[in-house]
Structures are given as C-alpha cells and as structure tokens.
Chains A and B, each alone.
Chain A
Amino acid sequence: MALTPGEMLSRLIEVEVTSGQPRLSERNVKEIKQVCRASEDNVQEAFRLLRQHLENDHSEVRFSTFLLMKELFDRSHTFRELLIDDIHEFCVLVTEIDKTKPLPLPKPAALKMKELSVSTLKMWYDKYGSTYKKLRLAFEFLRDTKKVVLREESASDLFRPDVRNDVVRKNADRTRIDKVNAEMEESGNELDILLTEVETLFGIIVPEFEPTDAEERRTVSREVDTDTPNLRHHGLPSMSYTVQIQLQPSSLKLQSNSENEPLIDKIKENTRLLNSKFRPVLTRWLTLLSKSGADVTSLKTVIDTKQRLENALQKAVALGISVTESASSGSSPSKKRVAKDEKEEDSSDDEFVDVSEIGSTEYQAQANFQPAISNAKPSLSQVAVRSDEDQPCCSKSVPTVGTSARQEALAAAPVVPFGLDLEDWGKEKSLTSSMFRTPYESLHRFWRPPEVAEGFTNQEVNAAMTTRLIPFVGTFEPVKWSCRAPLPNGLLCSRQDRAKCPFHGKIIPRNELGEPEREEDRLREEREKDKAVQDKIPDWQDPELLKDIQAETGLDLKVEPKRKKKKTNLSDVDKILDTPRSRLAKKILNKSTVKRISNEMDEQQKKQAAEKFAHNWNYISSA
C-alpha cells in the first residue's frame, strides 16, 4: 500500500526528529526534500509537522527539528514565508529570547541549538534579509535589543571537531616522535654494528648464501656454461641440459668444528641479542611512528633496519642456530619482555587500533616455547616419590616393582586439599581448646575476664576442625525424556528435566499430541486449565463488578495495566532531573512537610515566649 505524501512526511520527520543524533541522516533529508518538492501543500504540511515537533519539551527533538527546518528553509519560498511569519515564536523556541520560556533539557543540546540558531539567523539575514522584512526585524531585535553575541564563523564551523583537541593531539604526537628519534640515535649505532657483524659472519660461513624461507622450497637453477669439449669429457651430448639443485633447509645444518665454532658462537650471541632486545624495540618504534604520523623517511629507515634484522634472524634459523635463549635461562627475560611490551602499549594512546606485525608470529611462537615440565605444579605422585628419595637408603638406584605399583595406586587416588582436620589426623589429644585461649588473660592484676571453663570449645568450631565434608559424586545419568507438554505455538515442550518441568509441572507420559496418557493426569490438567482462565482477571477487577460499583457510587476503580515506556534514542530527561537533590527536595520542601514543621516551630517559639514571660515575672517579683 502506497503512503500518501502526508503520511510519508510524518513518518520521515518523526524518525528524523526522534533520532537523538546531532546530525541528520542524509537519506531521510533527501527523501523529505523530494516529497516537499512535489507540491506546495507538502511544504505546508511539513512546516506544520515540524512546528509541532519544535514545541517538544526535549532539546534533542527541537535541535533535530531545527536542523530539518534549516534544510527546508534554504529550499522553499513557501517554507520561508511560513517560518518568517511565525518567526517570533520560532525565536522563542530556539534561541531562548524569552527568559520565562527557557529551553528544555538536556542542556548540551539546548546550548548547541542556541548557538547554532543564532549563527543561522545571521546567515539567513545576510542572504534573505533584503526580501523578508520580518526576518530583518527579528535579526535586528536579536542584535540590538537582546544584544546576542554573533559569532563570525558560519554554522558549519560548529560541527567541526574541536580544534583545541587537535592541537593537543598533535603536540602529543610530536613529543612521541621526538622520543623515538632520540632512542633511535642512542641505540641505532649499536644495532647497526651488531647487524653488520652478523651479516659479515654469515658471509664468512656460508658464501653466496641466499636467504631461504623455512617452509618454502626454493629452486635454484643454474645453466651449465662450459665448452663443448668439456661437455664431451663428461659424456654430455648437448648444452641444453639444465641442472636443478634443490637446497633444502635440512641440508643446511651447520656442522660445528674447531674452525667455525667461535664464529657460530658470535652469531649466536648477536642474534640472541637482536631477537630479545632489538626486535621488540624496533616493533615498538614502528608502531609509535606510524601511529603518530611521522614523516616517511624516518619510518623507512626503521622498516629497513627491521627488514635487515629479520633477514639475519631468518638466516640464523635456517642454519640451525637457535635465536632464542636456552631453556633454563630464557623463560624469565622473554616473559619480562612481553610484560614490558604490554605496559608500553598501555602507556601509549588507546584510541589507536593495533597493527599486527606480519612475519613476527613465527618467532614469537619460538620465543615463547617453554618446556612444559619446568613450570607444572608438582603433583602428589611426584611429591611422594621425592619424599621417598629423601629417605636415607643405601641403594636407590633401582626402583623396585613395589614402588611402581604404589605410584600407580597413588596416581589413581583422589587428591584432597590440605585442611585443619589433616593436621590433627590420627592424634587423640585435641588442641583446639588451647587455640582460643586469650594470651592477655593475666595482664591485669585484679581484673580477669569472665571465667572460662578449662577445655571449653565451641562445638561448631570443634566440629569444623575435626570433620571434613566430602560431597558425594555419583555417576551422572543423562535425562532421556522431555516434558512434551503442548505449547501455544503448536510444538511440544522440549525441556529435559528429571522429574519436574518448571513450566508444566510434573513430567508425565504423553502421546504424540502431547496429551497425557493416563486418565487422572488428563483430568488434573483440565482442572488446572480452567482455574488458570478464571484467575486471569482478579475478582476485584471483574468488569461486571466494576460497572456495578460505578453505577452505585460513581467511582471508577479500574486499574489500567502499566504502560511500558516507549523506547527512544533520545536521552532521558527524567533521569537528568532525578537527582538526589531533587528527590530530597520533593520530600523536604513538600507542602505538608513545610506546614507541619512551621507549625512545630511556631509552637516552640510560643512556648519559649511564655517561658520568658514567666521569668520576667520572677525577676520582677524577686527584685
């Protein structure tokens, strides 16, 4: 069904006005404009609707309405005439020229509207003032009588993000870049030396070594270029043969000997340093620089250096040189590093999106690899074994068969957390009573605390200390049946409860349609259903009864069901108004309270006056 233009306008405007956004959605505005363009009547209708919305007691609604009006004002002459004819009221509603009619809450929207409306009026005045007399009058009134401060900037400026914020951000960025540059100057030299060393060392160990990727097989093809006689010597009849040598990473394992050992050691040392210290630093620099928008050259140098470092590390890995620190010592520094990295990430601005570094994951995984055993908690079995080992024994080299059986049994045994009850395990004497005796008993010479029976203990405390609660864990039997009571949507209830469904009560056998199979169940269900129907309207809200009461006494006792609040995008004004102060004021300053308190105070004053009078009499008579 096609909507009439009026309905369409009403709907569009309603949506736009209740959006609660500081901007209009362009699509809707366009549609509204198109509808208005079609005929003058639509413009008038739009004005009527907008004018209604402009009186809304919510500044966000007014603001959106005002923005819409502004859009249409620029387009339609009819709209301009209508608005200018009504410009006094418009000014009251939008620029707050009448102090007795302040702009409604919320305040930020109201302030924004006021500011924007004044600048808009100025814009309109500049543009249309010569043709529309009343507009001129309105503006002159604002300027001359109301002395409204007119800012020179145009309305669009108000929507620009705050310039001050930009300046602050720029300053922060600059300091960040400067810091990174300083760091680069400081440690860049060392890094460079390290990298060059590693590269030369690689050159010495593996001449003409092409960097390879661990996963990728690289094919190196080389044309054999030799003379024909040479070929003949080798029994090759033609030159067009190509020889393919496949270099596989496994074939590049270095075999250390006395010659290259110091070199390898040096490489190891350097690469470790590069990996643990400089790689994270470089990553950090890179993110910081890219975040804060540094110039391309500095970014490029960092990227180049990082590329060099990655290449070196790759080469080392390809040669089978571990770039991570050894397992024993490597765990803590790497962890520390990660922690440090995180901290630095936190300290920098949160608003940036983290850029993932491509290619670093592989190393990360390697770096974080730790032997699982060293960090695992000692299990009971291990402890038991160790305690065995601790015992003095003449020969413990060969574990007996008995111990292994015991280990198996221990492994199967449940682990129980240590508790107070275990401390006194197997001891006859109860120590608990002594534990509660106060040490300050005889500090005073005369005063003693009330006599406490020797050996008295709180029964409950005692019980808690000597007993242990072990919950029974039986085998879980899954429920194989479901409730299957018929639901209003035609399906059957699919809840799987053991005995009782929270919605449909005790679970009973039912047929395919969900009806109870047993006769008694069926009857019971019917009874319940009848009762539910009866209970739907409470007796005292029976419409018949209420009608009777109204006829008799003229009182309408009908209780309307509470209406749910309509969900809107607007900010809640009630919430703004509902401050502790207002709530207190409601109670304290309410009429009856004030009356009661003033009465009471009057009473007191009277009493005082009477007393004073009596005293007066006393003085006079005594004098």
Chain B
Amino acid sequence: MDPLSSVLPYSFMCRLQDAARPGQPYANPFIHHARIRGQRARTLVPSTYKEVERTYAASVNAMDISSEDGRFLLSGGGDGSVVIHGLSNFTESVKQIHPVVGKVLANSSFAHEFALSACQFYPHDHGAFTTSGKDGKVKVWDTRKMTPVHKFTFPLPVIDHHMSLLKSAKPLIAAACMDKTIRICDLRTLSSVQTLSGHSKPVNCVRWSRHAANCLASGGADGKIALWDVRKARSCLAYLDANNAIPSTDLNANSLNFAHESAVVSLEFSESGTHLVSLGADHRLRTWSTVSGKNTLVNYGKVEFAFRDLHRHLQLAVTSLASPDLIFVPSRDKILVFDMVSGERLTTLTAHFQQVLTCAYHPHFQSLFSGATDRSIEMWTPETDFCDIQEEKEAAKKYQMNRWAKRQACNNITATLTADTWSDED
C-alpha cells in the first residue's frame, strides 16, 4: 500500500492521481495544487470536527510534525513531558479525535527535569526524535520505545535546537544555549563537536538553512541574527542588519549590526530557503533574503510580544507546498497570519485563552496546530474542510466515476475516429 494513501483523505488522493501524468502517478504532484492549498491555508478556523486529544497538565512549549509523512504530531510540555499524537487514523465517525499514541510522563525518569524547550522529529524518519530542555540536556529518543537513546548535557539551559531538513546534510544538532553559544552535536559520534560563539547574550533560536547544507542562522537575546557555516574555521558569515547597513568587518560579539532592537525570539526559513523570517521582542516581524543577507523591508505591522522574559523561543510556522507563502505568528493569545511577500495580515486566529507558544503547519492537510500556556493543542482546519470521511469517500468515488465515464467517451470517439473504416462495398 502506498504510504501517502494512509495519510491523505481519499478524495485528495484521487485529485492527486488526476493531476499526475500518465505513467508517473506521484511525480511531484503538489506543485499543481500549491495555489489551491494556499487558498485553503488562508481560511483557517478552529476545526469543528477534528480535535487533538487533551493530555497536558502544563503549557505546550514546542511542537513538530513528522516532516516525511505527516503522520505524527510531537509536542513537549512545560512540565518536561513529551506526547506524540497520531494524525492518520481516520475513523468513520463525524468527529475525529487524534489520539495520543505515545507519551513520556513528566514524572518519568526519562523525561526532562524542567520545562521542555524544543522538540523535533528526525527529519528523514519518524522512528527517532530529539528534544531539548531547560535542564540543559538535548535528548535523542527512540519513538517506538519512547525512551532516550542518548543525551547531550550542557551546563546551562538549552533554549532551542534544530536539525537540518536537507537530505544532503549531515546529522548535526545545533543547540542554542543560555551560555551565549551554539553547540553542534554530531549524531554519528554522539559528541558535541563544535561551539559557535558570537552572541553577547543567550541564544534564543537556531535554524539550519534549507538550501545550504552546512549553514545555519541563529538569533540572540542581544537582538542579533548571525549566519554561520560550520565547515569554516571562522564560522560566522555575517550579522544581519535591520537597516541594511554595510556588513561590518568584525564578525564577533562586538558587531554593531542589529536585526532587532530587542531580543530575537524566533527564526524560520521559508520552504524554498530563499527567505528567513525573524520575530523580535521589539514587536516586529522581519523577512530577510538569504541570498543577499538583506532585510526585505516588508512591513508586517506590530506583532505583540507579551513576555517579560527575553530568553525564550516562540515557534512560528511557515507554510510549505503552498503558494503564496504564509507565516503563522504567535502573539499573545492569538495567532496572526501574514502573507510573507506582501506583509498583509490575512486573519487573526483566536481560540486560545493564554499565550500561544508554538505553531506547527501540516502541509498535507493545510491545517495548523498550535500549543499555548492554557494547556491545549488547538487544531485549525480550512473552512471548506470535509467533515465526514464516509461522505468524502462517496463524493470522491462519484467524481472518479464521472471522470472515468468522460474519458471512456473520449476514448470511444478517438477509437471511432482512428479506426480504419474499410467498407465491404469498396
């Protein structure tokens, strides 16, 4: 059975098949539907029929969706617990609750001692995932057993960590630490191999580039965004500047290039890897071109940041497989949806009752998951989402039959036209 068919709604699969060229059923089907998906992603509402099972007794600090197949939702709580929800088990009923398929309780000996700060599936396989916590540990887990395989320990809290999504990249974990450095951990040797220092205050967020395998960006509480190449002896490439000042020559903590007036709390590369989105505690959202390293100067307006504590990471989300690119930014108890290119605020999503901490976009469903301090994971789906799997199936079948009939008719015509019309009378 095809792996996608277990994940995607039936009708969607049919549509994909229709779009596919004959002979190559699944050759990059998504491109054709990017605009449709973009349209769907614009109209998110709190899902009426789909829900994520409530388990948390603390805030939901971080989330990730298994990027390869989108079948699992990984999330980490403020009490150190880790939960995996299954997203692919569709039932026949109208209401669908995505169940918990794996959980590490807060009081378990495997769990992080303090709050969890980031979590991510191993990019190429959901059989492993990584988490980092305020207890200064980065853990690598076996998903099946829900037990840690290895842990990297650092002296101070880890605020964020990230692994490259590129297939060509080496399995390196970049961990943003409270001690103003970024630690690079190699999963092949299970050791911390490199320390990148260049921030004058704790590093809040770190993201690997999506087009250059060895490059990463980091944002610090000092308001700087630094670009690094881990292969280089002098790893820092540049500090981004909000006013597009000439890149300064001193590539160290004394640099005067500031990306934000206050701490940088979130970084995310666009799917294409050409843009970098950053959120600052100065209530600004900025988009940077990764090619030129310049601020694109798109005005997104004010994005409120309500925390007094500047050493934290908020997880914003960008759409993938959709056009145009959208940004989902947590701001207080709301999620703001922006068009990345135009800067237009499309909608404001309100259903949370306290600070939203994390967003994760599901590219296949065009739906969004968000976690907040109010201990809930909310699921946002497009307005026109199908509600009943049974109905959906029937509709899809009808559609397919219709197409089949048409094709058949077409074939008949061609058959009649292309057929030889010798007559006995000749």
Query: Contact residues of A with B, CB < 8 Å?
Result: 85, 88, 91, 97, 133-134, 137-138, 140-141, 144-145
Contact = CB atoms under 8 A, between A and B. Distances in A.
Given A145-B374, A145-B375, A138 B353 contact: yes
B353 A88 contact: yes
Contact of A141 (B46, B350, B374): B374
A144 B376 CA distance: 9
A141 B48 contact: no
Contacts of A133: 46-48, 351
A91 B353 contact: yes
B268 interface: no
A616 to B, nearest CB: 46
Given A133-B46, A134-B46, A88 B333 contact: yes
16 contacts: A85-B350, A88-B333, A88-B350, A88-B353, A133-B46, A133-B48, A134-B46, A137-B46, A137-B351, A137-B376, A137-B378, A141-B374, A144-B54, A145-B353, A145-B374, A145-B375
Nearest to B57: A144
A140 B375 CA distance: 10
A144 B350 CA distance: 19
B54 A141 contact: no
Contacts of B351: 133-134, 137
A141 B333 CA distance: 13
Nearest to B59: A145
A141 B376 CA distance: 8
A358 B104 CA distance: 84
Contact of A140 (B47, B48, B350, B376): B376
Contacts of B46: 133-134, 137
A144 B374 CA distance: 9
Given A88-B350, A91-B353, A138-B353, A145 B376 contact: yes
Nearest to A137: B351
Contacts of B48: 133
A423 to B, nearest CB: 88
Nearest to A132: B48
Q: Is the interface of B mostly helix, strand, loop or mixed?
A: loop
B221 to A, nearest CB: 24
Interface string B281-308: 0000000000000000000000000000
B26 to A, nearest CB: 34
A145 B78 CA distance: 13
A138 B54 CA distance: 14
Interface string B44-59: 0011100000100000
A145 B54 CA distance: 11
Interface bracket on B: 10 to 19
A352 B186 CA distance: 88
B374 to A, nearest CB: 5
Interface string B326-370: 000000010000000000000000111110000000000000000
Contacts of A140: 54, 376
Contacts, number: 32
Nearest to A92: B353
Contacts of A88: 333, 350, 352-353
Contacts of B333: 88
B17 to A, nearest CB: 33
Nearest to B378: A137
A574 to B, nearest CB: 32
A138 B350 CA distance: 11
B46 to A, nearest CB: 5
B307 to A, nearest CB: 14
Given A85-B350, A137-B46, A144-B375, 6 more contacts: A91-B353, A133-B47, A137-B351, A138-B353, A141-B374, A144-B376
User: Which of B47, B351, B378 is the most central at the interface, judged by chain A CB atoms within 10 Å of its CB?
Assistant: B351
Closest 7 CB pairs of A and B: A141-B353, A133-B46, A145-B374, A145-B375, A133-B48, A141-B374, A137-B351
B106 to A, nearest CB: 16
A366 B54 CA distance: 85
A88 B350 CA distance: 8
Interface string B366-402: 0000000011101000000000000000000000000
A182 to B, nearest CB: 63
B375 A97 contact: no
Contacts of B353: 88, 91, 97, 137-138, 141, 145
A134 B353 CA distance: 10
A85 B349 CA distance: 10
Contacts of A91: 353
A275 to B, nearest CB: 77
Contacts of B375: 144-145
A475 B291 CA distance: 115
Contacts of A145: 353-354, 374-376
A85 B45 CA distance: 11
Contacts of A137: 46, 351, 353, 376, 378
Interface centre among A85, A91, A138, A145 (most CB of B within 10 A): A145
Nearest to B47: A133
A93 to B, nearest CB: 13
B387 to A, nearest CB: 12
A343 to B, nearest CB: 62
Contacts of B354: 145
A173 B60 CA distance: 59
A133 B50 CA distance: 10
* Residue from the set A88, A91, A134, A140 with the largest chain B CB neighbour count within 10 Å: A88
A591 to B, nearest CB: 24
B76 to A, nearest CB: 18
Interface in B42-91: 46-48, 54
B419 to A, nearest CB: 58
A42 B54 CA distance: 39
Contacts of B376: 137, 140-141, 144-145
A134 B54 CA distance: 15
A88 B333 CA distance: 9
A138 B374 CA distance: 10
**For A91, A133, A138, which residue has the most chain B Cβ atoms within 10 angstroms?**
A133
B185 to A, nearest CB: 35
Kindly name the residue among B54, B353, B375 whose own CB sees the greatest number of chain A CB atoms within 10 A. B353
Nearest to A86: B350
A195 to B, nearest CB: 78
A201 B48 CA distance: 93
Contacts of A134: 46, 351
A499 to B, nearest CB: 77
Nearest to A88: B353
Contacts of A138: 353
A86 to B, nearest CB: 8
A91 B350 CA distance: 13
Contacts of A144: 54, 375-376
A97 B374 CA distance: 11
Contacts of B47: 133
A82 to B, nearest CB: 13
A134 B351 CA distance: 6
A91 B354 CA distance: 12
B306 to A, nearest CB: 11
A91 B54 CA distance: 21
Interface string B233-262: 000000000000000000000000000000
A133 B380 CA distance: 11
A133 to B, nearest CB: 5
A88 B356 CA distance: 13
A97 B333 CA distance: 13
A138 B46 CA distance: 12
A447 to B, nearest CB: 78
A141 B47 CA distance: 16
